[in-house]
């Protein structure tokens, strides 16, 4: 029997680089700042680090618009800084994922500058260009994730370029083999430097229908679009612009490329159907893992949480579990804010920890952070500044990480950071919480360190407590449960003596038989000897 891949027992952590730690006093987080904070991640129990884009970029979308795939933007440091970060991370037992953006580049990328210079330029087919519609205007009715048409007219050549995101982010033409080879070489560049894999942005959006037909009008209007996506996106059914045949062939190509390096591929695929999502990973010939995003959208309600986790776990063993990211409101905010929201977020983290797959923590979740307050005039996110939908903007979950009390909260020595702190207090900081044995941080650390020596192994997953306020499952000799109700609830235990290996609201170590009582928004991990 072959050994399980190295990531199977890992705990992932997303660093939103601009907001993690600033080393040079310009108010923007950077690679040396992250390197200086690696000890926090190792102490916490993290061994897999996903770093958001640090490539050269004009920053129209905070680095997700790349002008050079093989260099570090001076805002974030240098290639030497990346190498040093990687060396230190590896020394601490932390592997590092680079955030790859293969769907689009920046308009300032040399490829696009060549492409738009003339219709017969050799780089023209690196991107998707089309003539105006017969009556004038965009070639079809596709819309951008950030609002408005997904097409921009180039006055010089008289054609439109396609962009599923900002107009400054033209989509690459993945039907062009030269594009595929260019991205192959970009991936090898980082793998040769020692990167341990890639988080793949918009992994299901690379291939478009060759005829670019209109998307059907949505059958129903969204009941409040999710944050991070403009309302326009929900006006259409996305039949022809994402999830097209050929996408998985690209993933298989990448799998063959990374396997000699033992590297990991984690895909961002925005599907709400777990069965459809599982098609991208269950054959294990393309992506190794894909994120399951529904827990970032749901309310704190037992039946909803139970269904979201159990349906996804039944569909695939190859999921990356998340309750937050740089694109969605923080879980502690969504779950009620304050101490209630923090407790609920921690309880959901307990449920995710023992599921098959890999749990990821978004920076600040371990501190119980809620969204920071960012006023419209302070906004940086294009959802706010370009689409004009500030309530859907992502700035609140991107405010700087609070490290210690005092000016700049240990994040920066600048007078002002790139985003405001948004109302953080000394109690939110890592330094204060690290000194408090009852803090969210210390409780989170105990939880993640349990993952380092997982008692559940590869035991099959069995859901129990099928209704009521409890969400619970068993994996062999381990039982995981959370009370998602507003009143105390008793969890009936299988026969035998169970030891409380972890608890969010009481000391660990005691033995229990028959039942245990869980307070509201509390969670436990129990272990039996056999």
The set of catalytic residues is 201, 268
Token representation of residue 362:
């978004």
End-to-end CA gap in the chain: 24
| Residues 301, 309: Cα–Cα separation, whole Å | 12
Whether the CB-CB separation of 521 and 340 falls below 8 Å is answered with yes
What is the 8-class DSSP label of residue 62? T
Whether the CB-CB separation of 321 and 356 falls below 8 Å is answered with no
Name which of 257, 245, 320 is nearest 286 in CA terms: 257
| Residues 395, 400: Cα–Cα separation, whole Å | 10
Strands 68-72 and 55-56, by their bridges, are antiparallel
Strand order across the 159-162 sheet? 129-130, 159-162, 151-154
| Residues 261, 102: Cα–Cα separation, whole Å | 20
Distances (CA, A) of 62 to 65, 97, 109, 433: 7, 18, 15, 30
What is the 8-class DSSP label of residue 87? H
| Residues 291, 352: Cα–Cα separation, whole Å | 12
What is the 8-class DSSP label of residue 400? P
Listing DSSP states for 220-271 in one string gives: S--SSPPTTS-GGGGGB--SSSSS-TTHHHHHHHHHHHHGGGT-EEEE----
Phi, psi of 72 (to 5 degrees): -95, 135
Residues 6+ apart with CB under 8 A from 328: 226, 227, 228, 293, 296, 297, 394, 397
Token representation of residue 490:
């008793």
Name the burial class of residue 237, with classes exposed (0-12), middle (13-18) and buried (19+) by CB atoms within 10 angstroms of its CB. exposed
Listing DSSP states for 276-342 in one string gives: HHHTTTTT-SS-SEEEE-GGGT--S-HHHHHHHHHHHHHH-S-EEE-S--TTS--HHHHTTSHHHHH
| Residues 139, 208: Cα–Cα separation, whole Å | 14
Cα dihedral value 445, 358, 364, 446, nearest 10: -10
Query: Among all chains, which residue has been given the structure tokens 């590092």?
Result: 96
| Residues 199, 99: Cα–Cα separation, whole Å | 5
């Amino acid at each position: 029997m072959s050994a399980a891949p190295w990531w199977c027992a890992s705990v992932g952590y997303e660093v939103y680089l601009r907001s993690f730690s600033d080393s040079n006093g310009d108010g923007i987080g950077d690679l040396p700042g992250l390197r200086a904070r690696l000890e926090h991640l190792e102490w916490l129990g993290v061994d897999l680090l996903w770093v958001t884009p640090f490539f050269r970029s004009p920053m129209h979308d905070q680095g997700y618009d790349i002008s050079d795939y093989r260099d570090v933007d001076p805002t974030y440091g240098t290639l030497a800084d990346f190498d040093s970060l990687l060396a230190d991370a590896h020394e601490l037992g932390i592997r590092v994922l680079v955030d790859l953006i293969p769907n689009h580049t920046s308009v300032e990328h040399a490829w696009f500058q060549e492409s738009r210079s003339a219709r017969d330029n050799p780089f023209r087919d690196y991107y998707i260009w089309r003539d105006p519609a017969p009556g004038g205007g965009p070639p079809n009715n596709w819309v951008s994730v950030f609002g408005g048409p997904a097409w921009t007219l180039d006055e010089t050549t008289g054609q439109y370029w396609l962009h599923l995101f900002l107009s400054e982010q033209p989509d690459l033409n993945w039907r062009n083999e030269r594009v595929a080879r260019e991205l192959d070489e970009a991936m090898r560049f980082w793998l040769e430097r020692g990167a341990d894999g890639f988080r793949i942005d918009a992994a299901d959006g690379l291939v478009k229908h060759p005829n670019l037909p209109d998307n059907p009008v949505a059958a129903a209007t969204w009941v409040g679009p999710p944050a991070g996506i403009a309302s326009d996106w929900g006006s259409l059914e996305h039949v022809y612009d994402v999830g097209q045949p050929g996408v998985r062939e690209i993933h298989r190509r990448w799998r063959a490329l990374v396997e000699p390096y033992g590297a990991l591929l984690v895909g961002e695929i925005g599907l709400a159907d777990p069965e459809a999502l599982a098609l991208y990973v269950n054959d294990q010939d393309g992506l190794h893992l894909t994120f399951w995003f529904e827990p970032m959208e749901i309310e704190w309600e037992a039946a909803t949480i139970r269904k979201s986790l159990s349906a996804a776990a039944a569909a695939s063993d190859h999921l990356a579990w998340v309750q937050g990211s740089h694109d969605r409101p923080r879980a502690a905010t969504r779950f009620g804010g304050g101490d209630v929201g923090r407790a609920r977020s921690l309880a959901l983290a307990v449920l995710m920890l023992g599921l098959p797959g890999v749990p990821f923590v978004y920076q600040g979740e371990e501190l119980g952070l809620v969204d920071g307050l960012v006023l419209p005039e302070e906004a940086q996110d294009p959802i706010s500044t370009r689409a004009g939908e500030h309530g859907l903007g992502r700035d609140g979950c991107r405010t700087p990480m609070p490290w210690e009390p005092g000016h700049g909260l240990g994040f920066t020595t600048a007078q002002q950071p790139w985003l405001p702190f948004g109302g953080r207090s000394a109690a939110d900081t890592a330094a204060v919480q690290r000194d408090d044995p009852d803090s969210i941080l210390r409780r989170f650390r105990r939880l993640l360190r349990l993952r380092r020596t997982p008692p559940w192994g590869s035991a099959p997953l069995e859901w129990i407590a099928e209704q009521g306020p409890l969400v619970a499952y068993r994996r062999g000799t381990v039982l995981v449960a959370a009370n998602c109700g507003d009143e105390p609830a008793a969890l009936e235990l299988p026969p035998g003596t169970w030891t409380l290996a972890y608890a969010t609201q009481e000391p660990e170590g005691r033995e229990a038989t028959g039942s245990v009582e869980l307070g509201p928004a509390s969670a436990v991990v129990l272990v039996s000897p056999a």
